[in-house]
Every structure is written in structure tokens, then in C-alpha cells.
Structure 1
Amino acid sequence: MTITSSMSRNQNHNSSKRIKTCDNCDVAPWSDLNHDALFIVMMRLRVADFVAFSEVCKSWRSLALPNKKRFMASKSPMLMRISTCASNKKRICLEDFEGGKSKTTLPHSGGRFYLGLTCGYFIMFGRETKDFWLVNPITRHGLHFPPVPIFYCESRIRAILVFSSIISKWVFVILYRFDHFIWFSIAGEGAWNHVSSTSPIIDIHAFKGKIYTINYVYDYDSDRGEARHLCEMRLNPDPKLTLLKTKNFPKNDLFLPKFISSDENLYLIDSFPNNLWKVYELDFGEMKWVPFEETRDEYAFFFNGFKHGAAVKIESKDPRYDDLDESGNGRFIAGNMWYFPHECLNVNLLHE
């Protein structure tokens, strides 16, 4: 009885070893998964999971990185909520149109408040220190910039993050609306420089490798006694503003125009009472402003107040946008806080 039981145990043990060995031989490594099938899986991921996906192995990374722009571009703007946790840091909740949620705690956010978005980064301003931390909630990459020499009301700040190819460094650019100066700081250098203008500057925006501003000037030839001009800001080799001639800058339709852009187009936009919006697209070939209703494009315009916005091209029958407010020939969504995945891994690379 003892011998039989012992033999049975040995047979079972050997059988188990054979099965395990066989199973291990039949299981292929995750890195060997077919890329066509893996691509389908990847495109169904949430935004916050994409970075983790790209770090699984070299094979997955080789699939993810070349397709990161396509992945992010496929994702709709996400509703954003900011709260303060027990450690006094900011907790971010991002929710997509399908109800999927991603939560993260921002590093370097303790004792700071949110000023806006740029290039996928949260702009966090220190209440006491007066300095800035820019943090990407997806990659958790952070950039630090010192206090600006002159600081006004934070509600007037318009800020953008760009990357200079000449010096191979990040540059943080700040405008106080209606001021005559644009301040900029190079990451790691701990200092600020500025560009001055003879006229107040209304807005600033980075688009396709260049920085643009809207300048407000008094125009004796205008019925309203005022005019707005489009300028380009150069950082290198000598920081300066250059006036760009446009054929028909909309003087009467836009009182306080703001920049907004899609991947392909640059717009001016302004809001009026009764939920009325005016939008113009810049035709760079003709250097003229075209009313949005004449472009026949389908876009949804999302805004975080005056801080930041984005134009997202949509299909006319896309059910995700059925509940969004419409005005004129476009969809205009203001008042909520939105995060834009298509900007998350993009870089405002300056063409200098």
C-alpha cells in the first residue's frame, strides 16, 4: 500500500512536471504578439494606460511610439476635475465620453493652484513662492520656472510652453493680457527675459512651429478708432515681434479675439451675449481671415475659460457630440474644464 501510494505520487509528480514543461513550451512571450492584433488592442486603451503600454517591452514600444500621435488624436477631449488631497497636492480626474476615468496625483502641486494648460502640461503657480511647476499628468514629467519679475492678476495670464530646436531646451512664455511685454524663461537657467511691444498684446499662441500674437492698436482710419494686428514672435537669434500683414483682420466682429487651433488650422474666436460666437480661420496662402461658416468644416470648439482651448474635428454623425451646445455652424463648449489628449505627447517645436 505504501509502495503503490508512493509510486502514484511519483507518477503524478512526473506527470505534473511534464504538463508544466509542455505548457511553458506552448506559451509565446508577450513580446511576440502579432503587431496588427496588438495595434487594435492599443487603440482601445485609455489615455493614462498608453504610457504604461509603451514601456512593457521593446516590441510594444516599437509599436506604440510611432503611433502615439495617431493614438492621442483618436481620443476626444476629456472632462477634467481638480481636487486637493490630504497631502495638499492636486488630484486630477480625467473622464472620457464613454465614462472611463483616470485619476492621478500631480507631483510638485502642493500649495499651488491651477493656471491653465499648455502642450498637455498643467501650469501650477505657487501662492507663496510665486514660481511655476508645469506637470504632464500622463507622463508625470515636470518643468520648473522661477517667479516672473512682474506679476499681476493670475486671471490675465496667457502662457505657452515651446521647445527651441536651436538651444534644444524648453521655453516657458507668459503674457499678461493688455500688457506691452512678453516674458520668457529657458528651463534650467533660472532667469527671465522679455520682448516689448509698442501696443498692448491681447493673446499669444504657438502653432506649427511659430508663435503668434494679437496686438491692439489705435487706428485713426477705423470707425471704431481701434484695430488689431497679427504678429509673429521670434526667440532666436534676437527676441522680437514682427508685424504680419493680413488682408482683412476682422475689426468689427471680434472685440477681444482669442487664438484657438486644431492640428491644421489657426482660428480667431470671440464670444458675445446670447451664446453667440464668431470664428475666423486664417488662410495662410492668401493671408486673409475667412469666416468659419464659409469653410464648411465640422469642428467642436472646447474652452477652459480664457486659459486654453482646442478645435477638434469631428464626424457630423459622431454620437459622442450629440449633447453638446451648438451655435451657428459649429459646436462651442465653454464653462467646463477640458483636457486635450491630442496635445499630451505633442511638442510645440519652434521652427527657427
Structure 2
Amino acid sequence: MPFPDSPLEFRDWAYLPPEIVELISTKVKSIKDYVRFRTVCSSWFSASLPKLRHHPPQLPWLMLPYNPFKPGDSSWLVFYDFWGYKMHKFHIPLSNDTTCYASFRGWLLLVGSEGEEALLLNPITQARIQLPPFTDRIEKTFANCKLTFSANLTDGNCMITVFPKRSRLLFCCRVGDSCWTRYDCRLNGTTKLADVTYSNGLLYSLYEGDMMIYESNKLVQKIVLEPKLRTATKCFLEGKSGVYVLALHPMKNIELYQFDEQFLELRLISDTSNKAIFYADNSPCLAVSTDDWDSLDGGSVYLDYNCSSDAWKSAVESPYRIYCAQWGNASIRHVVQDPSKKRRWPLEPAMWFQPSFF
């Protein structure tokens, strides 16, 4: 496309040279803004890459378990970005019987009410990966679910693992498989599994008193947890620096541990000034480094507050609230209140979603 000769025509940004458009695109840090950038016009679309690897880790959005704009319409997924104080809506023309059960690395696990339909969806790119159907009782076992991958989904050996926390079962498959491989994940037939995650291709499983590490379904290491961790509510964190464990003790004291691969032990992190934890009721957690985010408080835990169990009795509207707590401090400060003010009890818990192209 020729560049206009008249200075007045320079107001039409569609005529910017492709190399300038590409340079500008690299300065856009928000994934949602980058998607909008590419839809400005055809010349901007062709001059920018479909996915930029320069994007820093995106701060999580809170995925709401309801549609505040059109109640009962599940064809829209609604997220609240409380860093930008705005809502994001994505139209997903799927069956109304399809429910989102988990989120991991920018992907959502969507499962039909009877398990006959299961897929992974990236709401940013609209990419979909069909999964084998589930034959177990989805409506009960999948109400509280963990999704994790052993590698990037483009890796042919990537193992997709689904762990319904109210079940003793673990489901695993690869992209293209026709069925799930099902495992009974009780330890010694009695102790239930608390959480699972992958790191460097190894599967980590967390029990009441032990952490087990598996490679290709073979146990390679067993770590006995210290006594005070046995009574704590524990879960894995998805971080880039290895395996983390978040421990919530009976007195509501929160501690963060990191697994030392050299000495094969969990070590308490005493300096949490550059870490933030995102925790939603009954859903997986995220660990985010605060180094690149001036607006993010270090040493903090961001919590989704699921309204009180008494709310359903009066059938009154009860909003979501997001709070921020400091490690070692019992006080909790209010961050934001329900953006829609239309939430009613009871509802499935919200979940954190970290936008990603990949």
C-alpha cells in the first residue's frame, strides 16, 4: 500500500509502514489490548504477529460463575479485571449444559453435564482442543477440579491431567486420545490426594503427610512432610521457579514453601516481598512474581470471598468481594466489591484465570 503524499492524510494510521506497526505492537503489554490492536485494520493485522512471546506474565482475572449481563445465558464467559476495574466478555457459542470446571495457563476445561463433551478452550485466541468424553458422574465429582499439563500443549508427549478433588480418581490423556486413563489416587488405599501438579515433566502429588514424585507413572521420590504441615490445608502453586506449596494452618496463618530439588525437601520462604498468591474458594491457586507489577503488593494473598452460607436463607443479593491479606498478619483489607452487584447464593465458586496466548 503506497504511503500518502499529503500531510493531511498522515492522520490515517492505516498507512503506517509495516515495520513501524510491528514496533508499536511490541510495546503493547496487555494481551487483550494486543488482540484489539490487531483488529484495528487489515494493514495492522498483517503487520503484527498472531502471538507475541514478549508479553510478561499477565495478572489474573477473576472468572465469574455467572453472567451478570444476561442471567441464565452461559454462552458468554465473563471475567473481572480488578487491576483495570473493568469486565471482559467472551462469546462462546457452546451448549448451555456445558460448564467450566477448571483453569490452567490460559486454558479452560469445559465439560458437558453428562460428560459426553469435554474440551480445552483458550478464550483469548478461541483455540479449542477436543478431549475424550468422561464416563464418570460428572455432576458430583467435577464440582471442584484441578487441571494441569506436563508440558506445552503443542508437545506430542504432553500429558493432560484432571483431578476432581471430591473424588479419589485422577484422569490423564494426551491430545488425540480416544479415552482417559483413570487412576485410583488414594495412598495405601485410604489417604486421599490433596493436590497434583507437574514440574519439568514430573508429576507431584500432595497427601496429608507425604509428597510423592512420579516419572512415567513410576514413583521416583517420597518426601515425608514435617509435623506442622500434616495438619495444614495444603495445595500446590503454579509458579515458574519450581514447585511451591501453600499451607493454611488451623489458626489461619499462611505459609509458602518451595521444593528444593537438590536436597529433596520443602523449605519455608521467609522473604515473600516479591511474591503474590491468588486464591479463590475451592479452586487452584496461582503464584505471581511482583517484580514487573508496581500495582501488585508483595507478600500478599489475594482472596476471592464466596459470600456467607447464611445468604441463601434470605435469598438476598450477596456480592463477591476480593480481599488482600499479608503474610503473618491477621488483618485483611478490602480490594474490590462485586462489579455486577447481581450475585446470588448459592453459586459455584469463582476461579482465577491468567490470560495467555499459549
| TM-score (ref. length: structure 1) | 0.70
Identity rate of aligned residues, in percent? Answer: 14
Q: Which runs of 5+ in 2 are unaligned?
A: 301-322, 336-348
Determine the structure 1 residue equivalent to 2:52.
65
Structure 1 residue 102 corresponds to structure 2 residue 109: no
Contact 1:107 1:135 in 2 (8 A): no
Determine the structure 2 residue equivalent to 1:31.
18
Q: Between Structure 1 and Structure 2, how many residues are aligned?
A: 300
Determine the structure 2 residue equivalent to 1:345.
357
Q: CA deviation at 1:258?
A: 1.0
Change (3 A) 1:233 1:196: farther
Q: CA deviation at 1:180?
A: 5.4
Cα distance in 1 for partners of 2:99, 2:121 equals 12
**Structure with the greater alpha carbon radius of gyration:** 1
Cα distance in 2 for partners of 1:180, 1:263 equals 28
Deviations 1:309-336 (A, max 9, x none): 1111115993443972213289999986
Cα distance in 2 for partners of 1:170, 1:54 equals 30
* 1:117 alignment partner, one of 96, 103, 106: 103
| TM-score (ref. length: structure 2) | 0.69
Change (3 A) 1:166 1:32: closer
Change (3 A) 1:124 1:317: closer
Counterpart amino acid of residue 263 in structure 1: K
Q: Which runs of 4+ in 1 moved over 6 A?
A: 24-27, 164-167, 329-335
Superposed counterparts of 1:1-352, under 5 Å? 22=6, 28-33=15-20, 36-40=23-27, 42-43=28-29, 46-53=30-37, 56-61=44-49, 65-67=52-54, 71-73=55-57, 75-84=58-67, 85=70, 88-108=74-94, 110-151=96-137, 152-163=140-151, 168=156, 171-177=159-165, 181-196=169-184, 199=187, 200-215=192-207, 227-234=209-216, 240-246=217-223, 249-255=225-231, 256-293=233-270, 295-315=271-291, 318-321=294-297, 324-328=324-328, 337-341=351-355, 344-346=356-358
Determine the structure 2 residue equivalent to 1:349.
none
Contact 1:300 1:332 in 2 (8 A): no
DSSP-derived class of the 1:61 partner: coil
Contact 2:97 2:113 in 1 (8 A): yes
Structure that is richer in helix per residue: 1
Counterpart amino acid of residue 357 in structure 2: L
Cα distance in 2 for partners of 1:136, 1:90 equals 13
Change (3 A) 1:278 1:181: same
What's the RMSD between the two structures over aligned residues? 3.8
Change (3 A) 1:132 1:330: farther
Q: Which runs of 5+ in 1 are unaligned?
A: 1-19, 217-226, 235-239, 347-352
Contact 1:298 1:316 in 2 (8 A): no
Change (3 A) 1:108 1:273: same
Contact 1:214 1:231 in 2 (8 A): no
Deviations 1:175-197 (A, max 9, x none): 24476542212333321223455
Contact 1:231 1:243 in 2 (8 A): yes
DSSP-derived class of the 2:52 partner: helix
DSSP-derived class of the 1:191 partner: coil
Cα distance in 2 for partners of 1:61, 1:107 equals 26
Contact 1:254 1:278 in 2 (8 A): no
